[in-house]
Amino acid sequence: MSKSLTYNFRVMIIENQKEANHELSTIGCDVEGIKIMRDKYTFYTIKIKDLSPTQVNIIKQEILSLGGEAATARGAIDHSIKKSDTIISGTLKQIESLINKLSSHKYFDLSKIGQAIKEALRNFLAEPTLFKARNLSINLKKRTYIMGILNVTPDSFYDGNKYYDYENAIKRADELISLGADIIDIGGESSRPRAKLVSEKEEIQRILPVVKYLAKKKKCLISIDTQKSKVAEKALIAGAHIINDISALNFDSKMAKTIARYNAGVILMHMQGSPKTMQNNPLYKDLIFEVISYLKKSIEIAEKTGILSDQIIVDPGFGFGKTITHNLTLLKKLKELKILGYPILAGTSRKSMIGNILNLPVDKRLMGTAATVVLAILNGANIIRVHDVEEMREVAKTTDLIVRV
């Protein structure tokens, strides 16, 4: 460093309005001045797919006129291509001004694009508040919630055969509650790659006694990990609150109506293919866009059948039709799922992505899991699905304080 450099500097990271307010107030800015300036200190980049050359050229002109930036495909300017994506960037103030400009356009669906940007930005900036499941609710603004995994299966990748019989299962359920689980996710069919399929009858026989036991205790939310509507219905009748559907309502056409009928919550998870095929060379052109698009379609199915918006959780599906690079990218970019406007669940616990990084067997992946849980919470996860409830509860509590500083 030059000895003549006598000024003190700080290259700042300002991620939201709250931080902008704080930093501006620390240097003694006028209160009214802060209100005017704070939106100029937060910066956003938005990608919009499959627009016409006319649309992207007008959007580019408008954002450039406001001092922002826009990129389009090379052939958009001379209309030598039919479609182009665009990436626009600017301060919150500039993006909001762009929305207003587009909303005043009468042609080329620009007003609709403006409204879509407005909704996407509103979802991204908002924090989910309540999640409701039947007669219960949780306040998502308070902290990260812990979903404890209870597989009553002989072949799950980590705890298979540990809790297959009833006595061990209910003992483990009590233990998960005592260790701090807010939700217990009961699975009667393994969804690991190439796992053996289980009949509805067998799946019901596995999960139902545990559901009935937990329903009587009334100590936690009960989630059922199933793709089958008949299994879901039996569990809901017995007292379950949430259906965790790894197919995101795509496997069983009756699932959405079943969930809506019982006013239950639903977890919609992204998966490419099925458990049998999902790890056979998974490929994506645009991973984040494809995950978001898939979940959007499932959200539409849910809401059309009467499942309310505050009863929906989304899950990017770590390990379900993804390579290690896909999983790490999803974890790094998890916050982008906030554009959907729903709480995010992250399930990375002891998965092969961690084993591949550390070259460790499943029973040695606790610390690797902790690292992924920290990053998931920092990037917007509201619920973490884990095997190690006590340890991850401590990780979540510590990380929550960092996020909420």
CA gyration radius, the chain: 23
Q: What is the pLDDT of residue 62?
A: 97
Among 125, 140, 156, give the residue marking a domain's end: 125
Q: 163 and 298: one domain?
A: yes
Same domain assignment for residues 6 and 91: no
Residues identified as active-site = 351, 385
pLDDT of residue 291 exceeding 90, the answer is yes
Residue 273 pLDDT grade (very low, low, confident, very high; cuts 50, 70, 90): confident
State yes or no: pLDDT of 249 exceeds 90.
yes
Residue range of the domain that includes 18: 1-41
What integer pLDDT is reported at residue 154 of this predicted model? 79
Once rounded to an integer, what is the mean pLDDT over residues 112-122?
Answer: 96
Please indicate, yes or no, whether residues 250 and 215 belong to a single structural domain of this protein. Answer: yes
Three-state DSSP state, 65: helix
Residue 244 and residue 390 in one domain: yes
Q: What local confidence, expressed as pLDDT, does residue 74 receive?
A: 94
Q: Are 243 and 224 in contact (CB under 8 A)?
A: yes
Both 15 and 98 in one domain: the answer is no
Domain identity same for 199 and 68: no
Domain count within the chain: 3
pLDDT of residue 5: 60
Task: Write phi, then psi, for 93 (nearest 5 degrees).
Answer: -60, -45
Q: Among 277-291, 336-350, 385-399, which is the least confidently predicted range?
A: 277-291
Q: For residues 116-125, give the mean pLDDT.
A: 95
Q: What is the pLDDT of residues 299-339, one digit of tens each?
A: 999 999 999 999 999 999 999 999 999 999 999 999 999 99
- 87-96, 160-169, 362-371, 385-394: the lowest-pLDDT one: 160-169
Average pLDDT over residues 258-266: 98
Q: What is the pLDDT of residues 142-188, one digit of tens each?
A: 999 999 999 998 766 555 556 678 888 999 999 999 999 999 999 99
Whether 104 and 227 share a structural domain: no
The pLDDT assigned to 192 comes to 76
- 204 and 93, same structural domain? no
What is the CA 400 to chain-centroid distance, rounded?
A: 17
pLDDT band of residue 45 (cuts 50, 70, 90) is very high
Which residue, 145, 125, 127, is CA-closest to 136? 145
Q: Write down the pLDDT at residue 4.
A: 55
**Whole-angstrom distance, CA of residue 129 vs CA of residue 142:** 9
Residues 78 and 185 in one domain: no
Q: Which of 66, 98, 125 is the last residue of a domain?
A: 125
Strands (E), 248-368: 265-269, 312-315, 345-346
Q: Which amino acid is at 144?
A: T
Q: What is the pLDDT of residue 405?
A: 65
pLDDT at 266 over 70: yes
Residue 219 has pLDDT above 60, yes or no: yes
Query: Which of 125, 154, 175 is at the close of a domain?
Result: 125
- Identify whether residues 301 and 372 lie together within a single domain: yes
Average pLDDT over residues 38-48: 92
| Predicted pLDDT at 173 | 95
Burial class (CB in 10 A: 0-12, 13-18, 19+), 280: exposed
**Amino acid 156: pLDDT:** 62
Same domain membership, residue 278 and residue 202: yes
Same domain? For 265 and 199 the reply is: yes
CATH number of residue 120's parent domain: 3.30.1370
As a whole number, mean pLDDT of residues 206-231 equals: 96
